Chains A and B, each alone.
Chain A
């Protein structure tokens, strides 16, 4: 290791490492936000979401608009519909706002025996334990952030009012909404809903509703070749008493509501590039100029401009590689350190994606080489004697 380290470049490597750590850490925060927004977008574009009439999508899907079995049957008959998946989605904490469904913890009730309607989330990968299975009752599969914030693991018990659910599985990280889901069977979710909503309980008790009517919404899948926006409009026209979201419009709505985060993301990314880039370019250039005397000596010994440039580029690449390697390690250390605390609250602030790390390495190598080449070309304009004089 000692032999591989470019001797005399300790402070240069350190300088680059600090700049690159900043770039990677800020980039990882931007990646985290970006993945969250992308995940939500992918979700809404993968299905047509239908809720009971009178409620907006944000509220209706999670807070009460009933979608009865009769309505679901009507939706299934609309040409172009491949399948309808009834769902019950409730906020875990009913007192919290149900506006931002992407950021709150949700109880998700679904029928594990039915195929998934969402084209982009056909399966959710399991990190520990197992998925929900047909016939499951009284068990839950938790999103990874949900599990962390409630300090639950496979075998643990999730209380939900008077009901209790045994945790049988933990989902893998998705970096988007499912990370904060508690998934139970549709029947269990209906039970939770009935116990939570006295009005609903009274209506149900009077015989006005069956259990099959207790759905907060449904995910609708379309047949191959069908335009999902057209189908959504068709459902809205043909089925009365439902609130249908147009996938592209919901996506647009999500993008608009997350515009601030997108702008923040661009700002963070730009800041990271400028800070990291300037730091690296300045450090490499300074390191080359610091060796101006050595260049004079080498030219006195017969080095041509091309030979010097080759040498300097080689050194700059080596130094940049060490610097970026240390910087990435530093950022990973800080990121994982911070996230290990944040995860207790079910949060994750950093996401060190392969594309971020790859970009950082390529960016550092390119910029390091350019800075070194610029400095070398400046120095080779000097005569060897002048370079030696200036460096002595």
Chain B
């Protein structure tokens, strides 16, 4: 899926009388299907906000986002829910697994809101978990898993519905090199093997170097790539 953003802007209101903070200012990008695009920059440069806007996790104050030919940034709430559930997979730095669910149920959560048949989704989830080496942990709760295992479970959840767009926000930030490599290789494989568009926020030079393209943000603006 081709992802195009133009002129994206985001301003957070100031707290306790402080002036508003302009986090993104006129950012544009174009990512092709099968491409891994790395977004790099200093902390506070607006990388995570850019990913949130692209993932429809918060509304942009300016600009627009298109998935292929469809403008998605101005869809209604319900339509955006559908787009998030069917077309986007997220991998978060903090894993964001639900503590009250087992590893398998966390993965299956992705299928719950898009009306997938549970049995078929469970078959896919178990296959994915086996591939990522966490099948034996399917009945365990997140608190019983290591950081590497949690991220692999979170990755399985992100790709369960085979979304055409994968957004990964510092997916290796809390992992050691070995586990980080597994996740980065998997993201690369998603782009190569089934043509998913992968947009990756990272601090790791090796991850950025392995990407097909990269763009650098500085103080909310594009700084070349």
Contact = CB atoms under 8 A, between A and B. Distances in A.
Interface of A: 6-8, 293-294, 296-305, 307, 383-386, 388, 392
Interface string B122-166: 000000000000000000010000000000000001000000000
B81 interface: yes
B81 A385 contact: no
A113 to B, nearest CB: 70
Given A301-B90, A303-B112, 17 more contacts: A293-B96, A296-B96, A299-B84, A300-B55, A300-B57, A301-B112, A301-B113, A302-B81, A302-B82, A302-B110, A305-B77, A383-B59, A384-B57, A384-B84, A388-B57, A388-B92, A392-B94
User: What 7 A-B pairs are tightest by C-beta distance, nearest first?
Assistant: A302-B85, A385-B57, A8-B100, A383-B58, A302-B113, A385-B58, A385-B52
B44 to A, nearest CB: 14
Most buried by B among A294, A297, A301, A304: A301
B96 A302 contact: no
Given A300-B55, A383-B58, A385-B57, A7 B113 contact: no
A386 B114 CA distance: 22
Most buried by B among A6, A8, A299, A307: A299
Interface in B16-63: 52, 55, 57-59
Contacts of B98: 294, 297
Contacts of A298: 109, 113
Nearest to A304: B81
Nearest to A383: B58
Interface in B56-108: 57-59, 77-78, 81-82, 84-86, 90, 92, 94, 96, 98-100
A282 B209 CA distance: 51
A304 B92 CA distance: 20
Contact of B90 (A300, A303, A304): A300
A85 to B, nearest CB: 67
22 contacts: A6-B100, A297-B96, A298-B109, A300-B57, A300-B84, A300-B90, A301-B84, A301-B110, A301-B113, A302-B84, A302-B113, A303-B112, A304-B78, A304-B81, A305-B77, A307-B113, A383-B57, A383-B59, A384-B58, A384-B84, A385-B57, A388-B96
